[in-house]
Structure 1
Amino acid sequence: MKIVFIGYDYTLDIAQRLIADGHEVIHIFTFPCDDVFSSNTQITAFATHFKISISDHTITSNDINTLIDQGAEIFLCAGYPKKIPAINADKAYGINLHPSLLPRVRGVMPLPFIIMHEPEAAGFTVHKLVKDFDAGDILYQEATPIDKYTDVETLSARVAVRAPDAISAIIKDIKTYWDNATPQDNDDASSYNTPDTDMRQLNWSDTAENLRLKGRAFGRFGVIANVTNNMNETQQLAVFQFTTWPEEHSHETGTLLRSSPREIIISIQDGYICLKEFQVVE
Structure 2
Amino acid sequence: MKIVFAGTPEFAVPTLQTLIDSPHEVVAAYTQPDRPAGRGRKLTASPVKDLALTAGIPVAQPENFKAEEAVQALADLQPELMVVVAYGLILPQAVLDIPKFGCINVHGSLLPRWRGAAPIHRAVMAGDSKTGVTIMKVVKKLDAGDMLYKVDCPIGADTTSSQLHDRLAELGAEALLKVVNMIETGTLQAEAQDESLVTYAHKLEKQEAVLDWRQSAVELDRKIRGLNAWPVAQTTCNGQVLRVWRSEVLNRPAAAAPGTIDSSAQTLDVATGAGMLRLLEVQLPGGKRINGKDFLNAHPAAGVVLGS
Instruction: Report the 3-state secondary structure (helix = DSSP H, G, I; strand = E; otherwise coil) of the residue aligned with 2:166.
Output: helix
- Aligned counterpart in structure 2 of residue 73 of structure 1, from 80, 83, 86: 80
Counterpart of 2:91 in structure 1 is 84
Contact 1:139 1:178 in 2 (8 A): no
Is 1:110 equivalent to 2:133 in the alignment? no
Q: 1:90 to 1:66 in 2, by over 3 A?
A: closer
Counterpart of 1:261 in structure 2 is none
Q: 1:177 to 1:200 in 2, by over 3 A?
A: farther
Matched pairs, number:
265
Higher mean displacement: 271-280 or 189-198: 271-280
Counterpart of 1:2 in structure 2 is 2
Partner amino acid, structure 2, of 1:128:
K
Higher mean displacement: 63-72 or 103-112: 63-72
Instruction: Report the 3-state secondary structure (helix = DSSP H, G, I; strand = E; otherwise coil) of the residue aligned with 1:163.
Output: helix
Contact 1:206 1:268 in 2 (8 A): no
- Aligned counterpart in structure 1 of residue 211 of structure 2, from 181, 193, 202: 202
Is 1:223 equivalent to 2:232 in the alignment? yes
Q: 1:90 to 1:3 in 2, by over 3 A?
A: closer
Higher mean displacement: 21-30 or 39-48: 39-48
Instruction: Report the 3-state secondary structure (helix = DSSP H, G, I; strand = E; otherwise coil) of the residue aligned with 1:241.
Output: strand
Query: TM-score, normalised on structure 2?
Result: 0.70
Instruction: Report the 3-state secondary structure (helix = DSSP H, G, I; strand = E; otherwise coil) of the residue aligned with 1:119.
Output: coil
Counterpart of 1:44 in structure 2 is 49
Bigger radius of gyration: 2
Contact 2:132 2:150 in 1 (8 A): yes
Counterpart of 1:262 in structure 2 is none
Deviations 1:88-119 (A, max 9, x none): 43644211111111111111111122223362
The Cα of 1:71 is off from its aligned counterpart by 2.0
Query: TM-score, normalised on structure 1?
Result: 0.76
Q: 1:278 to 1:28 in 2, by over 3 A?
A: farther
Partner amino acid, structure 2, of 1:89:
D
Is 1:137 equivalent to 2:151 in the alignment? no
The Cα of 1:13 is off from its aligned counterpart by 0.9
Contact 1:30 1:54 in 2 (8 A): no
Counterpart of 2:179 in structure 1 is 170
- How big is the alpha-carbon RMSD for the aligned residues of Structure 1 and Structure 2? 3.6
Is 1:54 equivalent to 2:59 in the alignment? yes
Contact 2:233 2:245 in 1 (8 A): no
- In structure 2, what is the Cα distance between the partners aligned to 1:271 and 1:120? 20
Instruction: Report the 3-state secondary structure (helix = DSSP H, G, I; strand = E; otherwise coil) of the residue aligned with 2:200.
Output: coil
The Cα of 1:18 is off from its aligned counterpart by 0.8
Contact 2:82 2:99 in 1 (8 A): no
- In structure 2, what is the Cα distance between the partners aligned to 1:279 and 1:52? 41
Deviations 1:29-57 (A, max 9, x none): 13648579xx9653332122123343555
